[in-house]
């Protein structure tokens, strides 16, 4: 063998040795990356438990553990041989994707989790809720920059990983990438809310100057699209985090607007001029910014008092509040009314809903006395809140549950604040950044003129039909049952049944069902119990709207189905409904997928 050939073989063997050695080295590094990321994942459950159990010192130690693992994983995936191997075909994209995952994990641990846990250690939930001394909102305001940085870090990491092509990755790498993307998406949403809240709440709770808000307690016993008729009203004041309840009134006391307040043409066509005429009807529309701004104008015209915004809750939210604060005892005029009518003089999380939505009307016929009782309840609940009674974290948890269920709605007359609020479901908007591209909505408006909605049980379900011509089709199924007793027309008070005053037999329930589809779609047909029925088609903010009136005798059940077609969106549909007496989780049923014939 010639010397030249020997030299060539030596070089070849040397190259092979380097390649195999590099492959082995990259393999070892891959195992290290896997082990470190798994170890980091194993820390997370304990970290979450420490945070939920209010153990900031333990949480800080776990963050140190988390960061040690993410740093090691990132270093392993930043090795020069790893980087070089990432340029190779087939294996390269897998190594590149793994490197991006480790980079995102370390960025989130370092620039999001670590500062957030330090902020968490500085917050005392019992001091950021109202108290006799006022909430201490300075720690929350000081935390705002850290929360904003964390939100930006997670958002940037999520965006970076969304650009990684996963179609040709090995299954373990693709699965890890999908899991990381989903986790970052959830964290991105949560931190976005936290960042907005930490920047908004101090100002809205009067840290810089006093704020007045009109409080509407929506009564779900008489349905309106956003919940219920806004019967009880009050002015809530926040000054440096200190809560006080001002003047109290009712929708009836506000009276009739003359001249009627202007409403945009689309909504007036669907919901009539009553939106701008009566406080009881401002929320016939499901668009809370419209309802709230109209209520603000009505209140100012009636009382001469300007309010900075509108807050809406319902008796179910009051039950969540009382679960955190403990029971309240009614005093003053409210106690006199309760004693004379045989109503509870002590309300708790377990009895406030039935008392306020049913028993009051069953035992008190005079609206003025009903209002006195409601005023007494509101006074005691907010007096308890203003004194800081109960568990602060429990109160926040209860209010967040109300937000998730659409029972807590907020509108600010400050345009910069409202522009942030409209990013979230808390705004109650039917259009804008809080609404998904494939959004459906089902809303209920009472047509009985009474308090019979306490007896209605409903379920709403989306059914995804077979796509055709590139468009998707969704059926919205609404099942309603009147659970009132057969003799409801005679055993229930006329104030509850309306006594047939609006053409609805006493004991029966009439409801206007309003169904919204996604932007640019069509509402094509409506059926009731399988039979096609006439409906009123409209358009609101470029969303198709179908409306029918439905009457239920005691014990009767009907199912209405709205068919929406020409849907250009192919993302998973989302469903919003009017919050009623029922738990929202019992109303919204899982989406059903219709079976499709071969070739569709």
Rounded distance between C-alpha atoms, residue 526 and residue 442, angstroms: 13
* Residue 264 shares a structural domain with residue 193: no
* Residue 179 shares a structural domain with residue 280: no
Contact 154, 145 (CB under 8 A): no
Query: From residue 357, how far is each of 283, 284, 433, 452, 573 by CA, in Å?
Result: 18, 19, 33, 10, 32
Contact 378, 334 (CB under 8 A): no
Query: From residue 530, how far is each of 110, 317, 517, 547 by CA, in Å?
Result: 57, 37, 20, 17
Q: What would the DSSP string read from start to end of 150-169?
A: HHHHHHHHHHHHHTS--TTS
* Residue 224 shares a structural domain with residue 258: yes
Query: Does 181 fall in a domain?
Result: yes
Q: What is the pLDDT of residue 306?
A: 97
* Residue 150 shares a structural domain with residue 80: yes
* Residue 199 shares a structural domain with residue 215: no
Q: What is the CATH number of the domain that holds 524?
A: 2.60.40
Q: What is the pLDDT of residue 261?
A: 96
Taking each helix axis as running N to C, give the angle between helix 91-108 and helix 138-162, from 0 to 180 degrees, rounded to the nearest 10. 180
Query: Does 4 fall in a domain?
Result: no
Query: Which of 174, 203, 232 corresponds to the end of one domain?
Result: 203
CA 120 to chain centre: 23
Query: Does 598 fall in a domain?
Result: no
CA 189 to chain centre: 11
* Residue 242 shares a structural domain with residue 176: no
Q: Note the pLDDT tens digit of each residue in 170-214.
A: 676 667 667 766 766 666 666 666 677 778 888 888 888 999 999
* Residue 54 shares a structural domain with residue 146: yes
Tokens at 50, concatenated? 């420490």
Q: What is the pLDDT of residue 292?
A: 98
* Residue 219 shares a structural domain with residue 194: no
What is the number of other CB atoms lying within 10 angstroms of the CB of residue 16? 10
Domain of residue 488: give its range: 436-593
Rounded distance between C-alpha atoms, residue 219 and residue 314, angstroms: 6
Q: What is the pLDDT of residue 18?
A: 46
Tokens at 76, concatenated? 């392993």
Query: Does 415 fall in a domain?
Result: no
Query: From residue 128, how far is each of 207, 222, 224, 266 by CA, in Å?
Result: 12, 34, 33, 41
Contact 270, 285 (CB under 8 A): yes
Q: Cα dihedral angle (582, 583, 587, 593), rounded to 10 degrees?
A: -170
Rounded distance between C-alpha atoms, residue 244 and residue 128, angstroms: 16
Query: Does 234 fall in a domain?
Result: yes
Q: What is the pLDDT of residue 272?
A: 96
Residues paired with residue 248 on neighbouring β-strands, in sequence order = 234
Give me the average pLDDT of each 10-residue run along the chain (600 residues). 57 50 55 73 75 75 82 79 71 75 79 75 64 69 77 78 72 69 65 73 88 96 96 91 89 94 95 96 98 98 97 96 93 84 92 94 88 89 84 84 94 95 92 93 96 97 84 95 96 93 94 97 97 97 98 98 93 95 96 67
Query: Does 230 fall in a domain?
Result: yes
Query: Which of 203, 221, 252 corresponds to the end of one domain?
Result: 203
* Residue 325 shares a structural domain with residue 441: no
Contact 144, 198 (CB under 8 A): yes
The residues, ordered by sequence, that sit 6+ positions from 346 with a Cβ below 8 Å of its Cβ are 327, 328, 329, 330
Rounded distance between C-alpha atoms, residue 362 and residue 372, angstroms: 15
Query: Does 97 fall in a domain?
Result: yes
* Residue 39 shares a structural domain with residue 155: yes
Q: What would the DSSP string read from start to end of 270-321?
A: HH-GGGGTBGGGGGGSS-HHHHHHHHHHHHHHHHS---SEEEEE-HHHHHHH
Q: Please choose, from the candidates 334, 311, 331, the residue with its C-alpha nearest in 3D space to the C-alpha of residue 321.
A: 311
* Residue 158 shares a structural domain with residue 295: no
Query: Which of 203, 219, 246 corresponds to the end of one domain?
Result: 203
Query: Does 416 fall in a domain?
Result: no
Peptide bond into 230 cis (omega under 30): no
Q: What is the pLDDT of residue 128?
A: 66
Q: What is the CATH number of the domain that holds 251?
A: 3.40.630
Number of alpha carbons in the 13 Å side-chain half-sphere of residue 429: 19
* Residue 219 shares a structural domain with residue 277: yes
Q: How many domains does the chain have?
A: 3
């Amino acid at each position: 063998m010639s010397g030249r050939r020997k030299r060539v073989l030596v070089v070849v063997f040397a190259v092979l040795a380097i390649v195999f050695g590099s492959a082995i080295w990259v393999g070892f590094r891959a195992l290290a990356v896997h082990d470190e990321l798994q170890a980091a994942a194993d820390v997370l459950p304990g970290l979450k438990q420490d945070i939920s159990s209010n153990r900031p010192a333990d949480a800080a130690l776990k963050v140190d553990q988390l960061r040690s693992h993410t740093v090691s994983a990132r270093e392993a995936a930043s090795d020069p041989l790893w980087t070089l191997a990432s340029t190779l075909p087939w294996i390269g994209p897998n190594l590149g994707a793994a490197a991006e995952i480790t980079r995102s994990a370390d960025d989130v641990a370092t620039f999001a989790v670590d500062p957030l846990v330090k902020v968490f250690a500085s917050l005392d939930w019992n001091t950021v809720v109202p108290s006799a001394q006022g909430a201490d909102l300075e720690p929350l305001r000081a935390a705002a920059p850290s929360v904003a940085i964390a939100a930006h870090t997670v958002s940037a990491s999520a965006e970076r990983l969304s650009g990684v092509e996963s179609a040709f990755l090995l299954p373990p790498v693709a699965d890890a990438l999908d899991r990381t993307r989903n986790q970052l998406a959830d964290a991105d949403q949560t931190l976005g809310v936290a960042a907005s809240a930490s920047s908004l709440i101090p100002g809205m709770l009067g840290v810089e100057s006093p704020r007045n808000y009109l409080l509407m307690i929506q009564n779900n016993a008489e349905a309106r699209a956003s919940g219920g008729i806004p019967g009880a009203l009050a002015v809530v004041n926040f000054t440096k985090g200190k809560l006080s309840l001002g003047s109290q009134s009712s929708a009836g006391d506000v009276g009739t607007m003359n001249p009627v307040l202007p409403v945009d043409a689309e909504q007036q066509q669907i919901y009539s001029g009553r939106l701008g005429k009566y406080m009881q009807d401002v929320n016939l529309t499901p668009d809370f910014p419209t309802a709230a701004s109209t209520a603000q104008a009505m209140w100012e015209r009636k009382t001469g008092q300007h309010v900075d915004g509108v807050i809406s809750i319902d008796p179910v939210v009051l039950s969540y509040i009382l679960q955190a604060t403990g029971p309240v005892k009614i005093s003053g005029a409210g106690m006199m009314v309760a004693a004379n009518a045989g109503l509870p003089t002590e309300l708790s999380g377990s009895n406030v809903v039935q008392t306020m939505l049913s028993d009051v009307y069953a035992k008190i016929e005079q609206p003025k006395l009903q209002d006195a009782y409601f005023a007494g309840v509101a006074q005691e609940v907010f007096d308890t809140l203003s004194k800081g009674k109960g568990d602060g974290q429990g109160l926040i948890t209860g209010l967040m549950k109300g937000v998730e269920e659409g029972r807590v709605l907020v509108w600010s007359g400050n345009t910069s604040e409202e522009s942030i609020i409209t990013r979230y479901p808390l705004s109650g908007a039917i259009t804008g950044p809080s609404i998904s591209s494939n959004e459906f909505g089902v809303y209920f408006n009472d047509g009985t003129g009474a308090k019979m909605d306490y007896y209605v049980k409903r379920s709403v379900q989306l059914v995804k039909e077979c796509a055709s011509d590139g468009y998707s089709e969704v059926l919205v199924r609404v099942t309603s049952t009147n659970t009132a007793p057969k003799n409801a027309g005679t055993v229930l008070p006329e104030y509850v049944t309306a006594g047939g005053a609006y053409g609805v037999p006493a004991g029966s329930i009439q409801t206007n069902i309003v169904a919204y589809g996604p932007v640019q779609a069509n509402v094509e047909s409506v059926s009731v119990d399988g039979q096609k029925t006439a409906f009123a088609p409209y358009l609101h903010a470029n969303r198709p709207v179908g409306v029918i009136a439905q009457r239920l005798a005691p014990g009767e059940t009907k199912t209405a189905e709205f068919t929406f077609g020409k849907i250009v969106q192919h993302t998973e549909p989302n469903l919003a409904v009017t919050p009623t007496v029922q738990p929202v989780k019992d109303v919204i049923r899982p989406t059903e997928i219709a079976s499709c014939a071969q070739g569709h």
